[in-house]
Amino acid sequence: MAWTYILRCNDGSFYTGSTNRDLDARVWEHNNDDLSGANFTRRRRPAVLVYAEQFLTIDAAFFREKQVQGWSRRKKLALIEGRGAELPALSTASAERTLRQAQRPGAEGTR
């Protein structure tokens, strides 16, 4: 089995990763192993597991990892807190905000 997971780091930031190994062992590595733990979490210990999804293949878990990494903090919080019904609206709100920012006078491409 493979996993996509989210850790909450000591500074409040989130780390999203994937693994095809034991999830508890992977979280331990993030917190204790300077060779196997990610650079991001190494500087922000301790990291606590706040969300995990199980997949049949590491490819599927890795795809989901990359998807979630592209999300806003608000959207990740909704996922972590089990507010799945809010995810589509958070995607739309983020896209609309990006479009408004791009349309501001002086923004690149609006001249």
Q: Which residue has the tokens 């991001």?
A: 40
Three-class SS state of 23 = helix
Q: 97 pLDDT exceeds 50?
A: yes
| Mean per-residue pLDDT of the chain | 91
pLDDT at 92: 72
Across the range 54-71, mean pLDDT stands at 97
Render pLDDT for 32-61 as a digit per residue (tens, 0 to 9). Answer: 999 999 999 999 999 999 999 999 999 999
Amino acid at 34: D
User: Strand order of the sheet with strand 14-19?
Assistant: 14-19, 2-8, 48-55
Pick the more confident residue, 93 or 15.
15
Q: How far apart are CA 41 and CA 30, in angstroms?
A: 6
Query: For 11, what's the count of Cα atoms within 13 Å in the CB-facing half-sphere?
Result: 8
H or E segment to which residue 39 belongs: helix 39-42
* pTM of the predicted model as reported, rounded to 2 decimal places: 0.83
